[in-house]
Structure 1
Amino acid sequence: MKSPLVRRLPKELKRDFKKYLIIFLILFLTIGFVSGMFVANNSMLEAGQNAFAKYNVEDGHFNLSGIPTQEMITEIEAEGVKLHEQYYKTTVESNDKTKDSDEEISIRVFKIREDVNKVCIMKGRLPEADGEIAIDRMHADNADMKVGDNIYLDGVKYKITGLIAAGDYSALYKNNSDTMFDALTFDIGFVTGEQYEKIEAKEVYQYAWIYNKKLEDDESKKKAGDNFANKLGEIVMASCFDADPLNDIRVEDYVPEYVNQAIHFATNDFAKDEVMAFYLLIILMGVFAFIFAITISNKIEEDSVVIGTLRASGYTRSELISHYMSLPIIVTLAAAALGNIAGYTLFKNVVVSMYYGTYSLPKYVTLWNPKAFLQTTICPVALMLIINYVVIRRKLVLSPLKFLRNDIRRSKRKKAKRLPKWKFINRFRVRNVFSNVSSYLVLFVGTCFVMVLLMFCLGMPDTIDSYMEDAPKKMYAQYQYFLRGNIDEEGNEISTSNPDAEKSCVSTLITKDKPNIGEEIMVVGYSENSKYIKINSELKGNEIIISEPYADKFGIEEGDTITLKEQFTSKEYDFKVKGVYDYMGSLIVFMPIDNYNEYFGNDPSYFSGYISDTEITDIPEKNIYKVISPEDIVKMAKQLDHSMGSAMDYFAVLTVLIAALLIYLITKIIIEKNRQSISMVKVLGYDNNEISKLYIRTTSILMIIFDFLSVFIAYFVINWFWRKMLSEMSGWFTINISFISYIIMIVAIYVAYLIISFIDFNRIKRIPLSEALKNVE
């Protein structure tokens, strides 16, 4: 025999239709978006993994300062690798829309690849004749270019015949040590071999390698990469002693595949997004599970006599538990089912468009993802079942007699706690809080959850804006010139007549310690009494000053000893930290140039570059390896702003909407629980405005407290999350949230509450005086 309470389910659903509809919509949107993200991520990850074989993605690459001899190539390939020539030329790109722009766009032009790092043609075709070029699809979208448009390389016109995605440039990193990719001012292009030879630009001698024996796991790749780096360094160094010292060959860059951000950043981002989305789903499901639990608890109190009658008539506790869990499970299942359908259709396309709007990804095919079904259907339903089962069973554990007497307290009735001799209204408010403590606790947790999301949405643009404004100002010099060598072809020292220029030494070592092993650290040797690097400490031997980002990221303090190693050999160097320098540009170690040359075994007169506040124009371009200017420092922030700026505004609005709906649900539950009390107060002669002071103003005061407390909690959560996220990336900069954003967060949540409070006031007005007669205690 079925429980008669089953017939009440449609009536209860109709009576609280707005509440269940709001919960359903939030769960539907959340589950749908998370499901779509899982489906899109899985499909794209599969496409990315298949791309390694399909497009023969490299196992790594290195750059040489000159063209190696065939003997050197043979000796390198004897280490178990196959080398593939991958030369490129870097030039300046413009189009009909950016001809007059002040922002310089650089493009790396390759010959069409036949064997390794082949490209996926997204639109059009590869070039077949002179004057044709295929460029990266992501950069083309950012620059509003399409197939058939004209593009100019150093003023020479080319026709775009195709938009491509390269497996070794799924994220457009100009240098692997950059903190962020740059699809705005950096591009890659492919031309025919004949056209490539006609391009007049500086050529980089890059070689990609493929291991003769395929390696699968990162541990074996790391071991092989370290061994090959050491062997490569030894082979190249040995060749220098046999060659003309003015034309010696050096390894200028070495990037194994497993640490190549241009290859792995996008796929790593997919995995991080998936984990974060799942945690957000679980937290939100937990919040709504407790909302359901509170609602059901209030309903059980309301139905106590009916429950007692049914229990006395022979109905089991399990049957009653099943009944009261029906609506939460039905709503959750409906949201999960429809959310998964929407995830595979609507939301999957939304996520895909977001990723294609950020990364240069190859074509993909939508795949069925059982993990998405498990995490977005089974997990939410299971969480809803467990929480509600525990709460309902604990509520129904009492005897039938207690339910019949409407005495459903599990503990003995205690004497009311004595309160100070406050005014009646204040004492009433305090007791109201005590009687609704579980609802207010859920409201506080929900507010904290929403505030974390809102702080991230507002804090990210603030941090980017602050970095773009402050970083160029805090550069120790506006221009940093890195030379290929300090001696020119005629054997003379490379010099400049620029009075602002100072000699410097720069080399790159890598870290051995966590959080990011293998991260590049720039070691800078500065001139005595430098007007750019103003360090007053007297340093000796291996004593150094480190930049503030380096100290912050790795937790290094004055007096610590750090160990760095050469990238291409096993040689290590110990440094003693004597202080921290206020420079936020990158991870740098500073030491006097004399100490630098002595410690690294260089000639006392050796230098590797110049630093200056004005541009140096009298050094031949062929002698310059790289130049760092303020534009290079802020390009990462510009890319972040372009990729995430508009999305953050959208999610901020969505977050405030979720906050309003959450507040609506909780305050509705509180008022419904106190319907009889509100009705009784009306019988005693209080009008609606006075009653609102007892209930609505109580919640208003608590919301102010929750608002401010949640800001502090959200700050610590976001700060922890930011440090964890940046620790896994190259570079470092601290999160910086403006005071205005804090005000906006607090005001936005409270304004959302004030709007809901008007709805609550109307709800109180509709409670009739006859409700007080329903009390049968």
Structure 2
Amino acid sequence: MATPLRKRLPREFKNNLGRYLGMILLMVMAIALTSGFLVSATSIQVIDSRSRDTYNVEDGRFTTNFEADDESIAAVEALGATVYKLFYADMPLTVPGDDTAITVRVFENRTEVDLPAYIEGQAPAADNEIALNRNFCDNLDLELGDTVQVAGEDFVLVGKVSLPDQVTTFRRNTDFIFNSLQFCVAQVTSETYERIAASGSQYNYAFVLDDRDMALADRISFESDLTEALSDNGEVLTDLVDWEGNQGIVYATDDVEGDILMWEVLLMLLIVIMAFVFVVLTNANIEEESSVIGTLLASGYRKRELIFHYMTLPLIVGIVGCVAGTALGRLVFVEPMKNLYYNSYCFPPFEQYWNTKVFFITSVVPFVLLVGITLGGLLSKMNATPLQFLRHEIGRRSKSGGVRLPDWIPFPVRFRLRVFTRNWTHFLTLFFGIAFGSLLLLFGFCMMPLVQHNADTMAESVVAEHVYTLKAPLEIDGTDMQRESFEAAETLATTEDLSELNPDNMLSMLLLAQEVDEDANPVNIYENSQEAIDQAEKFAATTLEVDRRMGGQKEETTVYGVQPESRYWDFVKVSSDGIDVGAGLAKKCGLEEGSTYEFYDKYEDKSYSFTVEHIVGSASDMATYMRIDSFNQVFDQEPDNFNGYASDLPLSFDDRYLVNDLTPESMQGVADQMSDSMGSIANMMIFVAVPIYLVLIYLLTKTVIDRNARAISYMKVFGYHDREVSKLYVRSITVTVLVSLVLCIPLLIWALSLLLEFVFMSYPGNLEMYIQPLAVGKELALGVVTYAVVAFLHVRAIRKVPLALAMKAAE
């Protein structure tokens, strides 16, 4: 670069300090916050993917009534797996100074499977020592050395631990919500476990397959053989869970994966905003420097020298912004972003991993955009002649002299209109800039109301006060004799040492057990009122998958087999040959009435073709409905098969048969959990949006002031005071900003609908588009407040416009 041009750079930077600092701030904030989140989230994914080998995470687990004998375990291992004891007992835990009722799941120190990772401290080594899961300790402010009580006995906290099968603390795998405040997991020594928990042990076993890459369908086949092997050896299986269905293992990572897509969409939005700003500022800079460029060209400078000169500062700005943003994101923002998940879930110790994709989309893409847009703008403008540059004819201004305004309009109003008409393209740019920034704000403000609205809809869509899902058919309307017979048979089956039973009682039990009809469905041992029995309705249910409309993934749907003329699913009118689908499932998967679609059973590796007859229910309804007789025929079940009851009155069941109890309240609990996990994400998005919005509005409105600097100087020469000049120019900008904030709302709602549909495509369920009026009000209010700050800065800038500028030659 020629020396004279090089000497202009510091002066040019100083004269446009606000513009260049604004660009740097915009890039730094966008890159730092999004890279901070994406680095933390992708690092968590790496940690999780490596946990399977690092901590020897199970491939599945099963629970038996009693401790399985060696022959039973050997029969399972002969199928191609290694079985490990993973016994536990649920016991009451008390934290001094806290009256909360807490349940702790106590395990022995693990040394073979689902190995612990200690974040602080060490494994218990003495009888009075205990280790608790890390996030529970953090939530209750427990530190190493503190004392807690388990079943009334004092224990010293010596370790904060993460167990890979208890990353998310669900009491039961079929629960809808987890609780990290009233439920925790612990490890103690083997001797301590035998002393305090052995009598109440749950006989849980984890298995690790010889072939750890076995497909899900093959694993399900293996687990079916496992069930048969245990049954053949006299074991009573009470639970069996594959690792992909274990919420303690997969729930947290699924949550992280969904949020990554949300932040990638946010990043793409920020990149579009940055590209927009770069275009505006590049054009403004070239137009302002038009006469200088013309003079240099006329003086013999070549175009490539000028292009290199005018690319220098944007290159420096881009490098500084990307380097500072990346460094700030990795050094400062990874920790708070990581805590968004570590406060709720008990992941292993955090390590930060390099991710090339994150670096590329957060740093390389913005830099390439800045350089490419600036270079493109320069190349397109450099086709003009030196004379056109000198006459400022590259801005494509109208040569018609502008619109003639009526004389009866007061001068201040006419002047403001003239400012607007002469800068209408810049004000149009300002409108779209405000729309982009407002979309960013509204994206953050509408997240929580959207989640809450859909949670309320989900709660309202539960067809009964209780929807009980069972592991197997269980009759609730048996006679007293049938209940006594099945209770006797169950007692005999669940008593490990029959010698403990009273001989007389044992004899009567044996006689009663003989009355059990082995060909009939089991009968519930708990008596329910006739009123409750009469209003309860049987149904059958299973789970299938269907392709989503976009994203290349599958959506899980519960297929219900319902009674003809059902009192609870009264909106289902399907015939014996087709299915009805919920409106939410239809929208998310693009299902249409009269069309046939493939539904897939991932556990059986089998597909089914169904024709959609009706689309029913609300926008949150993700279920599929069939007649129960068709259900049993399609899925090769007995004609009288069922595995659930819908009931408006509570029913009592043997816990061995009950999977879950779906109620409107439990769905509201899911909403509260979603709000808790997504609330911090939404707040962080607002934290990202506000400063970026401030910088965006400042940069866009500043270009209008800069382009009118000479006219402002003329006004001062003619005797106008700074306050009067500010009213004439700033008020024109103010009106444009306020009108733009209101007029862009329909555009925002349309764009946000598309964005949210894409963002939530990877989440299970269908979130109906809902924008709370209060969220729009917040966006408008924040937009006004933000512009008030910007307007104050512009008033100061107008005061600094020198009178000498009017004396300089315009051409």
Whether TM-score is above 0.5 comes out as yes
Question: In structure 1, which of residues 205, 228, 232 is the aligned counterpart of residue 223 of structure 2?
Answer: 232
| 3-state SS in 2 of match to 1:167 | coil
After superposition, what is the alpha-carbon deviation per residue over 1:289-335, rounded to whole angstroms, capped at 9, x for unaligned?
A: 2343134123313xx1x433432332222222222233222233233
Are 2:386 and 1:386 aligned?
no
For the 8 Å contact 2:540–2:631, the answer to whether it is kept is: no
Give the residue type in structure 1 aligned to 2:115.
K
- Match of 2:316? 330
What is the alpha-carbon distance in structure 2 between the residues aligned to residue 759 and residue 309 of structure 1?
A: 32
**Cα gap change, 1:702 to 1:569, in 2 (>3 Å):** same
1:580 shift after superposition: 4.3
Deviation of the 1:707 alpha carbon: 1.9
SS of residue in 2 equivalent to 1:482: strand
Conserved 8 A contact 1:176-1:262: no
Residue 455 of structure 1 deviates from its aligned partner by 1.8
1:162 equivalent among 152, 159, 171: 159
Please state how far the C-alpha of 1:287 moved relative to its aligned partner.
3.6
Q: How far, CA to CA, are the matches of 2:577 and 2:191 in structure 1?
A: 51
Q: Secondary structure at the match of 1:463?
A: helix
> How is 1:422-501 mapped onto 2 (pairs within 5 angstroms)?
423=409, 432-433=419-420, 435-437=422-424, 439-485=426-472, 486=474, 488=486, 489=490, 490=513, 491=516, 493-494=523-524, 496-498=527-529, 499-500=531-532
The answer to whether the aligner puts 1:665 opposite 2:699 as a matched pair is: yes
Q: 1:268 aligns to what?
A: 257
Q: 1:739 to 1:275 in 2, by over 3 A?
A: closer
What is the root-mean-square deviation of aligned Cα atoms in Å? Answer: 4.2
One-letter identity of the residue aligned with 2:704: I
Deviation at 1:464, TM superposition (A): 3.2
Q: C-alpha separation between the residues in 2 aligned to 1:292 and 1:641?
A: 40
Which residue of the partner structure matches residue 60 of structure 2? 61
Between 624-633 and 195-204, report the one with greater CA deviation: 195-204
The equivalences for 1:353-432 within 5 A come to 353-366=339-352, 376-403=362-389, 405-409=390-394, 414-416=399-401, 423=409, 432=419
Judged with a 3 Å threshold, the aligned counterparts in structure 2 of structure 1 residues 576 and 381 are, in CA distance, closer, same or farther, namely closer
Q: Higher mean Cα deviation, 696-705 or 511-520? A: 511-520
Amino acid at match of 2:202: E
Per-residue CA deviations over 1:727-750 (Å, capped at 9, x if unaligned) read 323334334331111111122212
Within-5 A mapping of 1:468-617: 468-485=455-472, 486=474, 488=486, 489=490, 490=513, 491=516, 493-494=523-524, 496-498=527-529, 499-500=531-532, 502-514=536-548, 519-526=555-562, 533-582=568-617, 587-591=622-626, 593=628, 596-597=631-632, 600=635, 602-603=637-638, 605-616=640-651
In the TM superposition, what is the alpha-carbon distance from 1:276 to its structure 2 partner? Answer: 4.5
**2:269–2:440 CA contact under 8 A, matched in 1:** no
SS in 1 for 2:219: helix
The 5 Å alignment of 1:285-324 reads 285-301=274-290, 304=291, 306-324=292-310
In structure 1, the residue corresponding to 2:289 is in which secondary structure?
A: helix
Distance 1:276 1:363 in 2: 28
Structure 1 residue runs of 5 or longer lacking an equivalent are 216-220
Counterparts in 2 of 1:416 and 1:407: CA distance versus 1, 3 Å? same
Q: Describe the superposition over 1:434-460 as per-residue Cα deviations: whole angstroms up to 9, x where unpaired.
A: 644554354334323322322222112
> Which residue pairs with 1:747 in the alignment?
781
Contact 2:416 2:728 (8 Å CA) reproduced? yes
* 1:75–1:771 CA distance, 2 compared to 1 (3 A): same
Residues of 1 paired with 2:332 and 2:159: CA distance?
Answer: 28
Aligned match of 1:348 in 334, 338, 346?
334
- Mark the runs of 5 or more structure 2 residues left unpaired by the alignment: 476-485, 491-512, 517-521
Helix, strand or coil at the partner of 1:509: strand
Letter of the 1:342 partner, please give it. Answer: L
Distance change in 2, residues 1:458/1:123 (3 Å): same
Q: SS state of the match for residue 757, structure 2? A: helix
Match for 1:551: what amino acid? A
- Alpha-carbon displacement from aligned partner over 1:230-270 (angstroms, at most 9, x marks no partner): 34336646986x689xx875875434489962474366358
Cα distance in 2 for residues equivalent to 1:157 and 1:625: 34
Q: Which amino acid aligns with 2:209?
A: I
Q: Which residue number in structure 2 is paired with residue 642 of structure 1?
A: 676
User: Counterpart of 1:27 in 2: which secondary structure?
Assistant: helix
Give 1:121 shift.
0.8
One-letter identity of the residue aligned with 1:384: L
Aligned residue identity for 2:110: R
Which AA in structure 1 matches 2:4? P
Q: From the superposition, tell whether residues 410 and 654 of structure 1 become closer, same or farther in structure 2 (CA, over 3 Å).
A: closer
Is the alpha carbon distance of 1:401 and 1:615 closer, same or farther for their aligned partners in structure 2, counting shifts above 3 Å?
same
- Map Cα deviations across residues 468-511 of structure 1 (whole Å, 9 max, x no partner): 55544443233333334416435461154243451433432221
Structure 1 CA distance for aligned equivalents of residues 22 and 580 of structure 2: 57
Q: Contact (CA 8 Å) 1:444, 1:706: kept in 2 or not?
A: yes
Q: Is the 8 A contact 1:479 1:628 kept in 2?
A: yes
Q: Deviations over 1:140-176 (max 9, x none)?
A: 3234444444556677776544221233444456677
2:254 aligned with 1:254, yes or no?
A: no
What is the aligned counterpart of 1:115 among 98, 104, 112?
Answer: 112
Contact 1:506 / 1:609 at 8 angstroms: preserved in 2?
yes
Q: Within 2, Cα distance between the matches of 1:165 and 1:746?
A: 45
In structure 2, the partner of 1:218 is none
- 2:770: which partner in 1? 736
Give the letter aligned to residue 203 of structure 1: Q
Q: 5 Å matches for 1:113-262?
A: 113-128=110-125, 132-149=129-146, 160-172=157-169, 183-184=180-181, 187-193=184-190, 198=197, 203=202, 205=204, 207-212=206-211, 215=213, 224-233=215-224, 236=227, 249=237, 252-256=240-244, 261-262=250-251
Aligned to 2:498: none
Q: TM-score, normalised by structure 2?
A: 0.80
Aligned residues: 756
Change (3 A) 1:206 1:708: farther
Q: How much does 1:602 deviate?
A: 4.7
Q: Call closer, same or farther: CA 1:672–1:89 in 2, change over 3 Å.
A: same
1:757 aligns with 2:748: no
- Indicate how the Cα distance of structure 1 residues 755 and 475 shifts in structure 2: closer, same or farther if over 3 A, else same: same
Partners of 2:760 and 2:127 in 1: CA distance? 44
Quick one: which amino acid aligns to residue 794 of structure 2? Answer: D
What is the CA-CA distance between 1:535 and the residue it aligns to? 0.6
Q: Structure 1 length normalisation: TM-score?
A: 0.83
Residue type of the alignment partner of 2:26: I
C-alpha change, 1:597 and 1:70, in structure 2 (3 Å) is farther
Contact 2:548–2:590 under 8 Å retained in 1? no
Asked whether the equivalents of residues 71 and 233 of structure 2 are also in contact (C-alpha less than 8 Å), the reply is: no
In 2, are the aligned partners of 1:540 and 1:595 still within 8 Å (CA)?
no
Alpha-carbon separation, structure 1, partners of 2:617 and 2:764: 19
